[in-house]
Structure 1
Amino acid sequence: MSQISNAIATRDEGPASVIEQYKPELALVAASHVKVDTFARLAVGVLRQDPKLAAAAQSNPGSLMSALMTAARLGLEPGTEQFYLRPIKRKGRPEVQGIVGYQGIVELIYNAGAASSVVVEVVRANDQFNYVPGLHERPVHKVDWFGDRGDLVGTYAYAVMQGGATSKVVVLNGTHIARAKAKSDGVDSDYSPWRTDEESMWLKTAARRLGKWVPTSAEKRNAVIERTDTPAPPLGPAAAALNEMDPDDDGPVDAELEPAGGWPETAQPPA
């Protein structure tokens, strides 16, 4: 993005103007389903609604375009829970940070066409949650939607594939979330989603880990996979569309790792 940053520095007339000027570049990198005119209007609208974001974009328009390029490549809507735009300070200078949200990751999973549904949920202290790898195909999670659910204690994610099989089930506790949060860039910013929308970031962490195990794609696909009575083999780690563009991740954790066929019913995951 250095060439874009340098060019912007010489012809910047404000963030909205910069977005308009660089629509051809956005079109070159955008996923095929992205309508660049609509994408640009969404981005400009977000800037107009958030004075601090607009000020960060004015201070460093290159960072704005870097974030928008990433959103366009992934085919995600900027300034939404698919792809956050947040003002941060780096070395004392305001700039724009792009962050893939959990809804964006779910969208990338659906785009690949291999999953018929994706479940990403948080678990709170007063919920009933039961999942034993190798014994349960999917978590059993009972919630009193109208009562006091208590504090966040965990999160989980899985996909149901087109053939009916369940993907790898990712289950994370508070320690895993704290580890991911500590490695998140800009977490100390008042505008960090870890502060403004903590539950969504718990969901994002689980969805991001699920993205390692199921196909993801920036391009929308309409894959049709015939359902059979034979269960599909467990999925191994996938080459995710996020790998290059969402480095905000600390890799697998022990609780996610299990043999290809799951743990035998008589065994438990290692401590």
Structure 2
Amino acid sequence: MGRLSLKEKVMVATGAATRPADVPEQVADLKGHEQVNPPMNQRVMEWLERYNTEFDDALPAHISRAAFFAAVRSLLPTLARCTPASTLDALLACARFGLVPDGRHAVIVREGQMARFIPMAQGYVDLMCRGEVQSVVVEVVRENDHFQWVPTAPLGEDLVHVPARGMKSERGEATRVYAFAWFRNGQRSRAVVLDREEAEEIRDEHSRAYREAVAEGREDSYWHRYFLQMWMKSAVRRLPKYVRMSTELLTALMAADDAGEAGEAQSFHAPDPETARLLAEAEAAARAAEASQDTPAPTTTRRLPVKRWQPRRKPSRRARRGRKQPA
């Protein structure tokens, strides 16, 4: 199957698509846990492969469709319980941002019958490092660690973190998460520090899935199961305001992330292939322009020729004889 038609895009946006007849329901064991069913997995993959052209267009050059689908195969028991529209929406959003749903850069989770794309902290870091950022540090502070943060102090003197010796359990519970970026020129950004209370406020205010799970007495939302990872991602999400860079792609990723939290379509927030190419070219041109201002270009202009001064020549005798004598 080729690119999505307008009708199919509307179905993805509204979740109106129904399960294809050749995609069977997921089986479950007596405890309700999802099980791997090889024939079913193969049929789900065959259905997804109908959209090969769409995924080829969405994925960046450094990620092959084979590598992307290799990560998707481990998600098949989850995807089989989701509507095809939401599955396609979540996977295309993930692909268009150049992220792999490997659990480290991004994940695809099931909320009811809806699939949802969740970029993780490392996914945000990857997008930042496509610009002026060399690397991003994200660390967890625990109860027995030595930690001091003075936001008004000069960079390099504002933050001190010395982890306590021993195993993670001996260091105590997590109390804070901080993040900062190193730029390619050797400088460092300001640090973002989030304590547990701030992370819980972000969760309670922005996660629809968490609120619904609490209302129904469940503890199966992603915030329930992976609180620390979401806490770390929340700290990284606040870094762009301290990073001097083009943030169009990061802004789009945040919009897609927020749309997933609200239960809305996500792929429409991701740049389409043509937009992604133009953004990449614009960012490269901006970096080249900044570099040209830092290092003066060599002067290639030639000096204009200057006529040398010459002494005035005396007229010849013949010329003097030819002159009329005054009366």
TM-score (norm 1): 0.71
- Rounded to whole Å, the distance in 1 between the matches of 2:246 and 2:58 is 26
1:37-95 CA deviation, whole Å, 9 max, x = no partner? 22123212322xxx3x13423xx011111111111011111142211111112xxxx22
Matched, 1:210 2:248: no
SS in structure 1 of the partner of residue 257 of structure 2: coil
Matched, 1:151 2:173: yes
Change (3 A) 1:237 1:35: closer
Matched, 1:199 2:219: no
Letter matched to residue 56 of structure 1:
R
Q: In the alignment, which residue of structure 1 is the partner of 2:22? A: 13
SS in structure 2 of the partner of residue 242 of structure 1: helix
* Aligned pair partner of 1:74 in 51, 72, 97: 97
The 5 A counterparts of 1:126-205 are 126-138=144-156, 139-147=159-167, 148-182=170-204, 183-187=206-210, 188=213, 190-205=219-234
- Rounded to whole Å, the distance in 2 between the matches of 1:64 and 1:249 is 12
Change (3 A) 1:101 1:155: same
- Rounded to whole Å, the distance in 2 between the matches of 1:142 and 1:106 is 23
TM-score (norm 2): 0.60
Residues 23 and 40 of structure 1 are in contact (CA less than 8 Å); yes or no, is this contact kept in structure 2? no
1:8-35 CA deviation, whole Å, 9 max, x = no partner? 6485632322321112112222233221
SS in structure 2 of the partner of residue 245 of structure 1: helix
Q: In the alignment, which residue of structure 2 is the partner of 1:2? A: 10
Q: In the alignment, which residue of structure 1 is the partner of 2:253? A: 242
Q: In the alignment, which residue of structure 1 is the partner of 2:133? A: 115
Change (3 A) 1:31 1:145: farther
SS in structure 2 of the partner of residue 144 of structure 1: coil
Change (3 A) 1:2 1:79: farther
Letter matched to residue 128 of structure 1:
H
SS in structure 1 of the partner of residue 193 of structure 2: strand
Q: In the alignment, which residue of structure 1 is the partner of 2:58? A: 29
SS in structure 2 of the partner of residue 211 of structure 1: helix
Q: How much identity, in percent, do the aligned residues show?
A: 29
Deviation at residue 130 of structure 1 after TM alignment? 0.9
Change (3 A) 1:29 1:212: farther
Structure with the bigger percentage of helix: 2
Deviation at residue 249 of structure 1 after TM alignment? 10
For structure 2, the residue ranges without an aligned partner over 5 or more in a row are 1-8, 24-43, 262-327
Change (3 A) 1:118 1:167: same
- Equivalences, count: 219
Change (3 A) 1:249 1:131: farther
Larger gyration radius, structure 1 or structure 2: 2
Change (3 A) 1:78 1:236: closer
Deviation at residue 134 of structure 1 after TM alignment? 2.8
SS in structure 2 of the partner of residue 16 of structure 1: helix
1:206-247 CA deviation, whole Å, 9 max, x = no partner? 111113433xxxxxxxxxxxxxxxxxxxx4894425233222
Comparing 78-87 with 241-250, greater Cα deviation is found at 241-250
The 5 A counterparts of 1:83-94 are 83-89=106-112, 94=113
- Rounded to whole Å, the distance in 1 between the matches of 2:145 and 2:117 is 33
Q: In the alignment, which residue of structure 1 is the partner of 2:119? A: 100
Residues 185 and 248 of structure 1 are in contact (CA less than 8 Å); yes or no, is this contact kept in structure 2? no
Change (3 A) 1:202 1:36: same
Deviation at residue 175 of structure 1 after TM alignment? 2.1
1:105-130 CA deviation, whole Å, 9 max, x = no partner? 11112222x12221011212221111
Letter matched to residue 69 of structure 1:
L
